[in-house]
Chain A
């Protein structure tokens, strides 16, 4: 079952490394201000929140190339 990031999740911490909440991301996307200053590396440090970050960016329609994972080489 897929859970959608609703307003009830806004206080949840999305990125534990950059201290970004779901609500901050939602608002930044709504205002076209993503990535916020100081939050540029969200999803890129421990990487644990990257899936949720991409999921939320898609839902909030505010994704930018900077937030996407870099291509990998094996």
Chain B
């Protein structure tokens, strides 16, 4: 019986940042656990492929910025899909990739994040999805932080178009922004800091199927990323 399983995670690469990904976060008593294989697919915002890269899974970390830069000159944001194969006897749940992100010319602290698992990694034994619509949410601090926020969304679909809803809450005011993504397209949706005198308190993402999604925050004065985080999933 095959013990091989698959997981496709995704992140976004911005030019001007150091961006390192730890391929496997888990360790055991003997040492680092390894994937069976790993291939990266790079996409422009419009969904055009920038190529596929085969990665040696014995590597502990990957310099993502160095890999992407020569293939994406002049591209403002690249979506990178991590197509991993792994042995379920080694990873009983799923492997986790973790990222380190730091703008080179900025005094801001580095950001650490979990790379968004988008396709796979949910074993059939888990009774998670009773209904198919995905809801993800993120709560913002109530005090001003000198930041502006956005939601980054990417589709890993090969054929289908997705219509998502980005829902913002400013106090009791709810606003819906529709977003349509063709296969492998990605977008950044600005989230207004204030509306009607109320600060941004929460954002929700509603889609038919799971997207790669991150909340990002940038310093207003320098534009440096100071937040790069996943939303929290719940099924309603």
A52 x B132 contact (CB < 8 A)? no
Contact of B157 among A17, A18, A44, A51 (CB under 8 A): A51
Given A18-B124, A69-B133, does the pair A48, B119 have CB atoms closer than 8 Å?
yes
130-164 of chain B: CB within 8 A of chain A: 130-134, 156-162
175-217 of chain B: CB within 8 A of chain A: 182-183, 208-211
Whether a CB of chain A sits under 8 angstroms from the CB of B16 is no
Query: What bracket does the count of chain B residues touching chain A fall in?
Result: 35 or more
- Which B residues are CB-close (under 8 A) to A43? 132, 209
Bound Cα distance A63, B29 (Å): 47
Given A46-B117, A50-B208, does the pair A13, B6 have CB atoms closer than 8 Å?
yes
Among residues of A, the one whose C-beta sits closest to the C-beta of B158 is A52
- Which B residues are CB-close (under 8 A) to A35? none
- Which B residues are CB-close (under 8 A) to A73? 131, 236
- Which B residues are CB-close (under 8 A) to A1? 182
Report the minimal beta-carbon distance from B108 to chain A, rounded to whole angstroms: 32
- Which A residues are CB-close (under 8 A) to B121? 16-17, 46
A51 x B162 contact (CB < 8 A)? yes
115-133 of chain B: CB within 8 A of chain A: 117-124, 126, 128-133
B132 x A72 contact (CB < 8 A)? yes
Q: What mask results when residues 35 to 74 of chain A are scored 1 for a CB within 8 Å of chain B, else 0?
A: 0000001011111111110111000000000000111111
Bound Cα distance A13, B132 (Å): 20
Bound Cα distance A4, B128 (Å): 30
Report the minimal beta-carbon distance from A40 to chain B, rounded to whole angstroms: 9
B118 x A48 contact (CB < 8 A)? yes
B209 x A49 contact (CB < 8 A)? yes
* A45-B126, A47-B208 given; 13 more Cβ-contact pairs under 8 Å: A1-B182, A3-B159, A17-B123, A46-B119, A47-B132, A48-B120, A48-B211, A50-B208, A51-B161, A52-B157, A52-B158, A72-B131, A72-B132
